Structure 1
Amino acid sequence: MDPRRFSDLVIFNRVAEQRSFTAAARSLGVTQSAVSQTVKRLEREMGIRLLSRSTRSLAPTAAGERLLATLSPVIAELGAEMDALERLREEPGGRLRVTCGKHAAETLVWPAFARLLAAHPEIEGELSVENGYVDIVAERFDIGIRMRDDLEMDMVAVPVGPPLRAVVVAAPGYLDTRDRPRVPRELSAHRCIGFRNAGGTLSPWSFEKDGQAETVKVSPSVTVNDGDALVGAALAGMGLAYMLEDLAAPFLADGRLVEVLSDWCPRFPGYHAFYSSRRQPTRAFTLFLESLRQEARERADDQADGAQSGR
């Protein structure tokens, strides 16, 4: 249907309800002449009289009544749905679909997600954990969580997680028989455990010290594609592994893993929430961002407390 025809039908419906061109024009915020001309055009294009006019009254014809019987409920239903959609901006109800990787889910997203749903059980939540690339627009996700350098140009990115740090670790037994690397280039003399990301490529090992950045592409003696497997291979003494500090922390604390090249591993910006720049955020969306930030603040405080207690 011609989009203009729908607009004409809405105006006709308002005139028939008000039984007045003047009252309809006032409620629509247009001139009486514009309303009258619209109805005349609609009748001319349909080839049938819809309104019976006299100097004192206006009423639908039999054809007009028949059209109104179908038209009025549709317009009323559309109006009610528009009102409901507008209320979503203020009310937290509705559906919220989130996508993120495994590490982000375990360390940041799931605690924030659970906190939100506990506080607002009227929200229908869905969390999809995918380590590979996800097109959130095509897959109809509301929001995704990734590293900032992993995002598309047309996405809005908001920092939501504390700074992260990658570490190089190995089991003590592995290091007992080898010299520990002092600079990244010495990694070539070691057995290394590689991590193959969801795109099929090996993740590089990135380092920085005194403003000097260095990236090493290791030749792994064993390769895995899961964070837990990466930790397991390191614990088994298969070589040096490069991983996020969160994964290694429990085993560094109890001595089952040892860190090397620590002075080459500074912190870097953490996770970002991202969403389409063409998306209108809902109230549930906004509350989830707030929950993510709260979780990030609590984690940052825990890190600070841990650093203080370790001194």
Structure 2
Amino acid sequence: MQDIKPLLVFAAVLEHGSMNAAAAALGMTPSAVSQHITRLESLHGVKLLNRSTRHLAPTDAGRALAVHCGRLRRTLADTQTALDNLKTEAAGEVHLAITSGIADTQMFQTALKRLQREYPNIRPVLHVGDRLLDLQQGGIDIAIRGGEHSLDNPDLIARHLVAWPWQICAAPDYLAQHPPITRPEQLHGHRWLHFLPVRITLRHGTESYLLDIADSMPCNQLATVRSLTAGGVGLSLQLEGEVRQYVRQGRLAVVLPEWSLPVVNLYAVTSYRVQSAKTEAALRVLQEAFAAASSETTE
């Protein structure tokens, strides 16, 4: 069998962008990395990299080979993980990327408490933010993401958790200070807050209405939009599962509940590879917690 190390070194050079960075990641010297690349080029009679003092870029042949070298690295990593799973219990850090809206939900908190109770050797590490993180570069094991774009990257696996419809929400005190809202057209006369611009279609029977709010207060955090809405600042779009407790407690009210809004699918997203025992355990707990909460709303 031919030595695969030059192929792995070539993949590392492209991943890290330079010989020095690849050498540091692999625990080698830059000279050794360069020798592996030269050997690979000489052995197959093809130039793989264009080098200069300040820039390194793959040739067309290098880009074609990079796809297979990257796959080889992932396969070896998966093999090692599979071997580790045969002898290792679910233990260690699991990095979870969640939005600020998800962090406050009862189902996520239930999953987190259950994970700590059933797997005391697993240490959850939370990365809370409302922008998408790169799972492969950011060291994230599981990301909870919403929307169809969760499925766009072919290098990721998206496991469905739950489907939540959008709702228009406001504080009861805010609504009490204004005339009753009985038609979508009346929504334009109110103050709005948003994380993403409000442009959404409402449906009621055969009737539909495109709600496009131009004058709305932007906010870069989902949880803050919800808190300000509950504080009576204005109306906002909220996912049903994220405001369920707020509605039950009377802190928020659903506006035009007879009108239906689009549904957002939530997924637990992982890299397309064999998962460690600890990640598999966390995935199972998350899926079961969200499924249990979903069945409660349908009963």
Report the Cα distance in structure 1 between the residues aligned to 2:207 and 2:86, rounded to whole angstroms.
Answer: 47
Residue 297 (structure 1) aligned with residue 296 (structure 2): no
Match of 1:244 among 239, 253, 270: 239
State the Cα distance separating 1:213 from its structure 2 match.
Answer: 6.3
RMSD between superposed Cα atoms in Å: 3.3
Question: In the TM superposition, what whole-angstrom CA distance separates every residue of 1:127-161 from its partner, at most 9, and x where no partner exists?
Answer: 21121110111112122111142323312111123
Question: In the TM superposition, what whole-angstrom CA distance separates every residue of 1:259-292 from its partner, at most 9, and x where no partner exists?
Answer: 2221223573542111222x21122222112101
Report the Cα distance in structure 1 between the residues aligned to 2:173 and 2:111, rounded to whole angstroms.
Answer: 38
Structure 1 residues without counterparts, runs of 5 or longer: 7-81, 306-311
Match of 1:224 among 215, 219, 228: 219
State the Cα distance separating 1:295 from its structure 2 match.
Answer: 0.7
The answer to whether the Cα contact below 8 Å between 1:170 and 1:237 also exists between their aligned partners in 2 is yes
Report the Cα distance in structure 2 between the residues aligned to 1:157 and 1:84, rounded to whole angstroms.
Answer: 20
Structure 2 residues without counterparts, runs of 5 or longer: 7-78
The answer to whether the Cα contact below 8 Å between 1:169 and 1:241 also exists between their aligned partners in 2 is yes
Q: Look up the match of 1:87.
A: 84
Q: Does the C-alpha gap of structure 1 residues 235 and 97 become closer, same or farther in structure 2, counting only changes over 3 Å? A: closer
The 5 Å alignment of 1:23-38 reads none
Q: Does the C-alpha gap of structure 1 residues 113 and 174 become closer, same or farther in structure 2, counting only changes over 3 Å? A: closer
Report the Cα distance in structure 1 between the residues aligned to 2:129 and 2:108, rounded to whole angstroms.
Answer: 13
Report the Cα distance in structure 1 between the residues aligned to 2:5 and 2:132, rounded to whole angstroms.
Answer: 43
Report the Cα distance in structure 1 between the residues aligned to 2:4 and 2:289, rounded to whole angstroms.
Answer: 50
Report the Cα distance in structure 2 between the residues aligned to 1:254 and 1:143, rounded to whole angstroms.
Answer: 31
Q: Look up the match of 1:12.
A: none
Report the Cα distance in structure 2 between the residues aligned to 1:264 and 1:249, rounded to whole angstroms.
Answer: 17
Higher Rg of the two aligned structures: 1
Q: How many residues are paired up?
A: 222
The answer to whether the Cα contact below 8 Å between 2:130 and 2:222 also exists between their aligned partners in 1 is no
Q: Look up the match of 1:3.
A: 3
The 5 Å alignment of 1:196-275 reads 196=195, 201-210=196-205, 215-253=210-248, 255-265=250-260, 268-275=263-270
Q: Look up the match of 2:20.
A: none
When normalised by structure 2's length, the TM-score is 0.61
State the Cα distance separating 1:3 from its structure 2 match.
Answer: 2.4
Q: Look up the match of 1:104.
A: 102
State the Cα distance separating 1:256 from its structure 2 match.
Answer: 5.0
Q: Look up the match of 2:169.
A: 169
Seq. identity, %? 19
Report the Cα distance in structure 1 between the residues aligned to 2:5 and 2:270, rounded to whole angstroms.
Answer: 35
State the Cα distance separating 1:187 from its structure 2 match.
Answer: 2.0
